[in-house]
Structure formats: structure tokens, C-alpha cells
Structure 1
């Protein structure tokens, strides 16, 4: 059996934190996307549309708005299909700007390929129309039986790039009583405290305070009362040391191992196949440096361990409680 002596030069560095701009790790409260939805009809299908009468009724109603009277019973065609239309509208999108649109069949249509979505109003959660969608539907993909790189066409869901026009701006209010609020994308007490400290250091006054693991309240300085946007731009560019929780993510299908944070290992001895792993006094054998997952993985790879071997060892370490990190298995 081969005994592993972890060597410092083989260590894969696991950094406890990295530097990032505030704009990359947080959003201002009230500044977010909103979801829009609507029900429309796709026409121009080559006999692959719905078999029921719902689409015929809708087409009849559309014709009526154009001054044409049509009996739904007379519209018997599979060239149209009822679809759900969805889109996300980012913050501060103005009238006339365009959104990408996704359409999905509601009925029993076989394909939306080659179809055209008729003008469809898109509603927000408050029931108001914020955009109107229309255009040619693309189902994407490729006509292949087997491919490792291309996905076969899924023909009852399609896309319309820039297929919706914004008709109404969604109101946003991100500054209240001369203060703004930041929300971390990944709540963390340490990072929240560091963000507040970095802002206070940059402006040389105590204007920021961490309220909880995701919320930082910032008072707008009097010098920026008439120019809040410039203040927010300065805040966004401040760099902060982001703390990363100790986590190991393994994908058993692909053999991928990803780990972040300063992941340490408690004392243990493990036998696995031809490998014998020993950590003593929280140090690498014959070394004065701390034992980490990075060092272990690097040493195992240098001795010929396969990704599956490494994953099995990490899972056993987690079950034994010697891996001081969360283990996520995909």
C-alpha cells in the first residue's frame, strides 16, 4: 500500500476570500427584473398546430377586432397554436426598448417551427400591460439523432430575440429618505460586515451599517443629495473581500470536483484501495503547514488517483466528520 505524504509544492490553493466589486456581489433594493406573461397565438404552422377549437376561437376574435366577422366553426386548421408568452423586463427599461421572448405551446401542437406570433400583450403581476410581443418563432437546436455537443430540437418551445417592445416603464424606488439599501446576492454575515466597512472607509465617515446577513443600509451623504446616481456609481466600484463558505461540490457523472473557501481537515487515517491517507495534528506529515482539501486532492492526483477515487475519499471523509465543509453531490 502507498502512503501519502502531502507535499507543500503540490498544494492546490484554496483562498478563504477574493476581492470583488460591490456591483458584482450585491444589488440595490428595488432594482430588479420583473416577470411578464401573456397568452397568444402562433400562426403559419405547416399542419403542426393545435387540433382543438380554442385557437380557432381566438383567431375569430382577432378577426372581429379588425372588422372581419368569422365563424370559429369555419376556421378548421392545424396551422395555428395557442402559446404562453413570457419575458423578463430588467430595471429601468424605457418605452421602445426591446426584450427577448420565450413562447411555449399550451395545447397539443407538435411543433412551433416556422410560426409567427401575433401581437400579444404581456402583463405584469399587477395586471398592467408593460410590453407587446410579436415576431417569427425560432425553435433552435439541430436535427441530430445523437450528439455530445448539440441539443435536438424541442419544437414546442421557441424564442423570439428582441421580440417584445416595452410600452410602459415599471416604476422603481431605490432611494428613500436619503438612504439606499444593498442586498447581497449570497447572504453572508462576514461579507455584509466587510461591505459596510469598505463603504465607510472609502467615504471616511460612518454611513453604512450591516442590518443582517444580506442587508446593508447606506445613508446618502449631503454632498450627493442632488446626485444620488453618482453616489451609487461610486459605491458599486468599491472592492470588497468576499468571504466564501467552505464547500466541496462533486459531480459523480463527470468526475468534477470544485472546492472553495479555506477548507481544513481534521486528523484522520483512511484506507482506500492502494491508498493510505493519514493526517496528524492538523498538519501535513513532516510539514508545518495546515492540511487542506487542496493539498489532499493534489497529492492524490499526483499518485494516479482517478476523479472517482477522489470523490469516494471526499465522501468518506465527510461522513466521518473530518471534512470541515459542506459536501454537495450532483
Structure 2
């Protein structure tokens, strides 16, 4: 399976290399972020009621009991110093993302996560929960029935759980009460941020925007940021200007990088990876010990004899003698590097070690990033 995965990955990477060699371009909207046009995280604390005995144990979750008592007190029910013993309530954290330019009265989705020792939120209803931003202001209020994508069934001897029953979602579960106050038309300049910082890409963005608009309105100020000066003719047509800019196409550039996920055995190499002339040999000593015990019994009607278990051991030793020394010439490309490593018959795990060894030898002209 690993060899099949390696073959598919190699074919995919080579396809990317051929596409890039042919001058593939991308739109600016796929590689940049416009200043101010982003989501804003919201968070809130609330109570879920209506659970069928799967809520928090109040003795183990004092915050749930305190919240329940405070809520009932606000509704005119005094439960202080009373022995409340219910498992139909759960304390939860509610999270949401406030979209850019979300207007008052619009609705957004929320995610509900159990905070105590509740077993499941299935069938529960979230009570009114204010959602606050990083500045501590309330931007939305959430309430509604929770949709849970998992379940848990427990018996005397077995428990079956599917997905995570203590996490749920409410579609359109929050109403926006406050707007962010960001106004596009008041801006006189805007910063464009590259998702993958690179000096060459930033300069290409600057040049492409200036050529598209027919005037010098953009300037790259660092590998991440391109400063956009809003022309007088577009200050009342910001949406039109940004829509035109995000359709501009350029060819991106990145440093040569190899990303390695050692846990999953995945290797991703950029098209600009180069290797100096180097010889590589790879081989492992593998010892396989197989035990096949056999039962020895006396013949039928024998006068005497005992049944014995006889050990049978088979030992195989593979010293990797079929592995060869491969020479990679100076400045070889990604395709030649992969072909050379595949010629050794190595799998993803061994390939990770080889790449790290080549880097240690100073022959790999690329950055290695281990996840």
C-alpha cells in the first residue's frame, strides 16, 4: 500500500511540475487577503437543557449548578441552598465566526461544545447565549435546538460511540446584534497580505496590478504586504476596484522546500528542489524469526508414549544485498531525484531518512520542514 501511495504521489508531483513549467498562473483572490475583509471569532458560555439524563453531574460540575441557579433566579425562581439533582442540563461553550460586513439582524451558524462531564448533547436546546468578540462586546446572541452528528449507546458490558456526541451545531443559530463598523469607502489605502510570503511573488503582484490599472497604485513593502493606494476615480467604487484586482493573474514563486510528515510517512517536494552530485546506497538488515510448533503423538495402540510439542523455528536474514549504489548528478530536478530514489526500491519511511541525510551532507539545495 505504501508503494502504491508513493507512485500516486510521485505522479501528482510530476504533474504539478509540468504544469508549472508551462507557466501556470493563479488569481490574486486565491493567494491574498484584503485588509479588513475577514471573519471575526466569537465565543460565549451558556446552558443546554432538555437532555435525557446525559447532562452534567452537578456534584462534579459546580459551574453548571451555579449557572443554573443564577438563570432560575433571574426568572424569579429561588433555588439557593436547595438540593438540585438533575442530569438534564449541561454547561457549554458556544463559538461562531462573524463574517465580514455581516449586518444587524442577519444569522450565522454556531458550534456548541460540552464543558463539563455530559455524555451527549443529543436532543438538547441551547438557551439565550451572548457571543462576544475579542474586545469584550456582544456581537451576536445564540439560541436554538442542537443538531448532533454522533451518538452513544451504553449497556452492562459494552459501549458504542459514533463520532463526538458532546459537540453539536445550530444552523443559523445566532442573530447578529452589532456590526463591526468597518467601512470600505472610507479607506484611502489598503494592504494586501500574501498567504504564502515571498519577495518575488510580492513584486509580481505589484507589477501585475499596476499594469492592469494603467497607473502605479501598488507597491510591495515586504514579502507579505503589498500596499494599494486607492485612486480618486475609484474611492466611491471600492467593490468594483477590488473585484477587478482579485481577477488579476500572476505566476507565484516559492523557495525550494520539502515538507515531511513523519507520523503519516508523507513527503511533499516543491518543483525547485535541486541536489548536488552525490552517491546514495540504501540497505537494511532484516532478520525474520518464524515459530511453527508441531504436536508429536505416539502411534495408535502403542504400548507407551507421550504427546509432546516439538518446536520448529525458521530464521531468514535479508542483508539488502540486492540494493545498489545510485549516483545523482549535480543539479538534478525533482523528477530525477524521485526516479533515483525509486530506483533503490525505497519506501516513504526510508525516503525520509535519505532526504534528511542528503541535507546533512550539504547536497540538498532545499529547506526541509518536518511536521
For the criterion TM > 0.5, the same-fold answer is yes
Indicate whether 1:227 and 2:237 are aligned: yes
Q: How does 1:128-143 map to 2 (within 5 A)?
A: 128-141=137-150
SS at match of 1:242: coil
RMSD (CA atoms): 2.7
* Rounded Cα–Cα distance in structure 1 between residues aligned with 2:370 and 2:256: 14
Cα drift, residue 143 of structure 1? 6.0
Residue 50 of structure 1: aligned partner: 56
Listed as ranges, the gaps of 5+ residues in structure 1 are 1-9, 145-150, 283-289
Superimposed CA distance per residue, residues 137-187 of structure 1 (whole angstroms, 9 cap, x where no aligned partner): 23424669xxxxxx9433333322332121222122456652222111222
* Contact 1:297–1:310 (8 Å) recurs in 2: no
Q: 1:162 to 1:298 in 2, by over 3 A?
A: farther
Partner of 2:197 in structure 1? 187
Q: How many residue pairs were aligned?
A: 307
In the TM superposition, residue 310 of structure 1 has moved relative to its aligned partner by 2.5
Q: 1:83 aligns with which of 92, 114, 118?
A: 92
**1:143-162 alignment runs, 5 A limit:** 152-162=162-172
Check the 8 A contact 1:18/1:243 in 2, yes or no.
no
Cross-structure match for 2:226:
216
Are the aligned partners of 1:12 and 1:298 in contact in 2 as well (CA < 8 Å)?
Answer: no
**2:31 paired residue number:** 25
State which of 315, 325, 330 in structure 2 corresponds to 1:276. Answer: 325
Superposition deviation, residue 248 in structure 1 = 1.2
SS of aligned partner of 1:277: strand
Which residue does 2:79 correspond to in 1? 71
The 10-residue stretch of structure 1 (120-129 or 245-254) with the greater mean CA deviation from structure 2? 245-254
SS where residue 200 of structure 2 aligns?
helix
Question: Residues 33, 222 of structure 1: CA spacing in aligned structure 2 closer, same or farther, 3 A cutoff?
Answer: same
Specify whether residues 127 and 177 from structure 1 end up closer, same or farther in structure 2 by C-alpha distance, changes over 3 A only.
Answer: closer
Measure, in 2, the Cα distance between the counterparts of 1:120 and 1:321.
Answer: 58
SS at match of 1:327: strand
- State the match for 2:211 in structure 1: 201
Q: Say which SS state the counterpart of residue 233 (structure 2) adopts.
A: helix
Contact conserved, 1:85 with 1:122, CA < 8 A, in 2?
yes
Please name the residue that 1:295 is paired with: 336
| Greater relative contact order (CA < 8 Å, ≥ 6 in sequence) | 1
Preserved CA contact (<8 Å) 2:47 2:89: yes
1:194-245 deviation line (CA, Å, top 9, x unaligned): 1001001111211110111111111222221221210111011111211122
Q: Does the 8 Å contact 1:12/1:295 carry over to 2? A: no
Deviation at 1:107, TM superposition (A): 2.5
Gaps of 5+ in 2: 1-10, 154-160, 284-322
Please list the CA deviations of residues 62-121 of structure 1 after superposition, one character each: whole Å capped at 9, or x if unmatched.
34444x323142542111011111111121111232222122222332332322111111
Alpha-carbon contact 1:244-1:261 (below 8 Å) kept: no
The runs of at least 4 aligned residues of structure 1 exceeding 6 Å deviation read none
Q: Which residue of 343, 356, 360 corresponds with 1:319? A: 360
* Rg larger for: 2
1:41 paired residue among 38, 41, 47: 47
| Deviation larger for 292-301 or 81-90 | 292-301
How far apart are 1:255 and its partner, in Å?
Answer: 3.2
Residues 1:310 and 2:344 are matched in the alignment: no
Q: How far 1:33 moved relative to its partner?
A: 1.4
Give me the whole-angstrom Cα distance separating, in 1, the residues matched to 2:276 and 2:335: 14
Q: Quick check: 1:181–1:218 contact (8 Å CA) kept in 2?
A: yes
Residues 247 and 326 in structure 1, CA contact (< 8 A), matched pair in contact too = yes
